[in-house]
């Protein structure tokens, strides 16, 4: 975690600055072509852009050029002000880690309570686990303890010498061992909650060890990697072989995919995200809750984790490129990961505004898990977890569902019908 004055983000910074400069330069280059009517694609322009073409014919070129430069520099200045403000901000995450209940390699199982219905929270491999324990008032893990649950967070950690040789099956095997430990120590099969890529790992682990899982919740978990994002899939197919080259010799471990390369991949999903969000940050009131939340989320986003080479190839080429999961061709230990094989209670959570995992791509799980309940969270991919509406939109209905399908110590298991009563947003 970077301290104030040492922040590296937004990463990779040169790429974000170049993108902003490109916006200005492209505007200066494109408007004379638009003015003389020679744009080959002008017939495809939609309102309000198409209505600008006749107006351009009557503008003074020098005045318009100056106005473009002024507007572009103003936007760059606002973004730069936001960047400087963020990089110098005094906030830093200071939540103490809870006790470590289990450890293997670079991974830890963090235990937030000693009693209650056991819940294992599984984050993605490419970002730090503490998005589920970000800050005071932004911690799903700590909030769940107040609901009579016993959450444990699987912190994957940094890939060490052993993990650098891992493939997805090796990480899933580690998750199964964490499940077994929690099952043995609590005397109850845990409820398994996977977030983003952690949902894919959780699903595979649950299918291979169903006796160690009481129920399965998948939050913003990608399954059809081409639905709602065909352009993203095409981009990954083009770039993946260069980003994660195969091992040069038999038995050699493919190189790691470093954090800046991963962040460049996320940049490609929306190249102007940094321009928009840091411009907004520059205008936030000093000392506001919105300012603090922004810094906390941005610190987490830039505190990434490198990805083992084999894992990177499986994800970028096998998932994003070949779309193997939804086609039933994602194999773990020679067995296809088939959501329809899960027969116990399941919940699929779909954020309403998700740029990282298109809604249709996550919704594909519902078609293959007919018994699953559905929850529509009124936020984006990260906002649903740590945003100002996280508690009402996700935490509360998720906790209600977990309590409904599980059995807290000394109580009887609640019927599934209670889900509709206590969490009205959950749909069957």
Q: Which of 415, 375, 409 is nearest to 219 (CA)?
A: 375
pLDDT at 418: 33
pLDDT (tens digit per residue) in 72-92: 889 889 999 999 999 999 999
pLDDT at 126: 92
The band of 3, judged by pLDDT with boundaries at 50, 70 and 90, is low
pLDDT surpasses 70 at 157 = yes
Rounded-to-10 torsion of CA 347, 220, 120, 385: -110
pLDDT (tens digit per residue) in 163-201: 999 999 999 999 999 999 999 999 999 999 999 999 999
CA–CA dist 199, 361 (Å, integer): 13
pLDDT at 417: 33
pLDDT (tens digit per residue) in 248-300: 677 777 788 989 888 887 787 788 889 999 999 999 999 999 999 999 999 99
Mean pLDDT over the full length of the chain: 87
User: Helical H runs in 244-328?
Assistant: 259-269, 273-282, 289-302, 309-313
Using DSSP, state whether 47 is helix, strand or coil.
Answer: coil
Enter the pTM of the model: 0.88
Name residue 374's beta-bridge partners: 348, 427
Name residue 396's beta-bridge partners: none
Q: Map tokens 């606002």 to a residue.
A: 78
Mean pLDDT confidence for 97-102: 97
Using DSSP, state whether 41 is helix, strand or coil.
Answer: coil
**Around Cβ 309, how many Cβ atoms within 10 Å?**
23
Burial (0-12, 13-18, 19+ Cβ within 10 Å), 159: buried
Q: Which of 346, 109, 329, 312 is nearest to 213 (CA)?
A: 346
Name residue 348's beta-bridge partners: 218, 374
The band of 419, judged by pLDDT with boundaries at 50, 70 and 90, is very low
Q: Map tokens 């081409």 to a residue.
A: 226
Q: Which of 185, 178, 184, 182 is nearest to 201 (CA)?
A: 178
CA–CA dist 203, 359 (Å, integer): 18
**Around Cβ 220, how many Cβ atoms within 10 Å?**
29
- Under 8 Å between Cβ of 143 and 112: no
User: Helical H runs in 116-167?
Assistant: 140-145
Provide the residue ranges of all domains of the chain, joining segments of one domain with +.
100-228+308-427
DSSP letter string over 163-229? GGG--HHHHHHHHHHHHHHHHHHHSSPPEEEEETHHHHHHHHHHHH-GGG-SEEEEES----TTTT-
Mean pLDDT confidence for 218-234: 86
Give Cα 252 to chain centroid, integer Å.
30
Q: Map tokens 């975690």 to a residue.
A: 1
Omega of the bond prior to 48 within 30 degrees of 0, cis? yes
pLDDT (tens digit per residue) in 15-71: 888 888 887 777 776 666 655 655 555 555 555 555 666 666 677 778 877 888 888
- Under 8 Å between Cβ of 118 and 188: yes
Backbone angles phi, psi at 181, to 5 degrees: -60, -45
Q: What totals of helices (H) and strands (E) does the chain contain, helices first? A: 16, 11
Homologous superfamily of the 100-228+308-427 domain (CATH):
Alpha/Beta hydrolase fold, catalytic domain (3.40.50.1820)
CA–CA dist 331, 324 (Å, integer): 9
């Amino acid at each position: 975690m970077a301290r104030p004055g040492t922040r590296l983000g937004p990463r990779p910074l040169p790429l974000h600055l170049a993108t902003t400069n490109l916006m200005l330069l492209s505007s200066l280059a494109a408007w004379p072509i638009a003015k003389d009517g020679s744009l080959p694609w002008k017939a495809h322009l939609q309102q309000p852009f198409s209505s600008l073409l006749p107006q351009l014919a009557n503008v003074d070129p020098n005045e318009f050029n100056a106005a473009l430069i002024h507007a572009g520099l103003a936007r760059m200045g606002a973004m730069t002000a936001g960047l400087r403000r963020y990089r110098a901000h005094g906030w830093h995450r200071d939540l103490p880690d809870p006790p470590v209940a289990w450890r293997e390699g670079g991974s830890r199982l963090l235990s937030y309570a000693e009693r209650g219905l056991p819940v294992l929270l599984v984050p993605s491999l490419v970002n730090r686990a503490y998005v589920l324990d970000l800050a005071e008032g932004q911690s799903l893990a700590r909030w769940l303890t107040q609901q009579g649950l016993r959450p444990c967070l699987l912190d994957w950690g940094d890939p060490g010498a052993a993990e650098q040789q891992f493939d997805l099956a090796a990480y899933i095997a580690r998750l199964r061992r964490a499940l077994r430990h929690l099952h043995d120590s609590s005397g109850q099969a845990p409820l398994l909650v996977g977030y983003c890529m952690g949902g894919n790992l959780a699903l595979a682990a649950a299918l291979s060890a169903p006796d160690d899982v009481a129920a399965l919740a998948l939050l913003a978990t990608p399954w059809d990697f081409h639905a709602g994002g065909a352009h993203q899939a095409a981009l990954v197919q083009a770039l993946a072989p260069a980003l994660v080259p195969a091992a040069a010799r038999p038995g050699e471990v493919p190189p790691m995919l470093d954090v800046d390369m991963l962040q460049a991949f996320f940049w490609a999903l929306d190249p102007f995200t940094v321009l928009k969000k840091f411009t907004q940050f520059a205008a936030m009131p000093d000392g506001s809750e919105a300012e603090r939340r922004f810094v906390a989320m941005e610190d987490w986003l830039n505190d990434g984790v490198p990805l083992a080479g084999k894992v990177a190839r499986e994800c970028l080429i096998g998932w994003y490129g070949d779309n193997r999961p939804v086609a039933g061709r994602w194999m773990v230990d020679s067995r296809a990961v088939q959501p329809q094989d899960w027969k116990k209670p399941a919940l699929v959570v779909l954020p309403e505004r998700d740029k990282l995992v298109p809604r249709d791509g996550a919704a594909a799980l519902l078609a293959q898990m007919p018994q699953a309940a559905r929850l529509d969270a009124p936020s984006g991919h990260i906002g649903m977890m740590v945003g100002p509406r996280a508690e009402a939109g996700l935490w509360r209905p998720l906790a209600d569902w977990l309590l409904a399908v599980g059995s807290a110590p000394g109580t009887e298991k609640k019927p599934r019908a209670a889900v509709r009563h206590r969490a009205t947003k959950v749909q069957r």
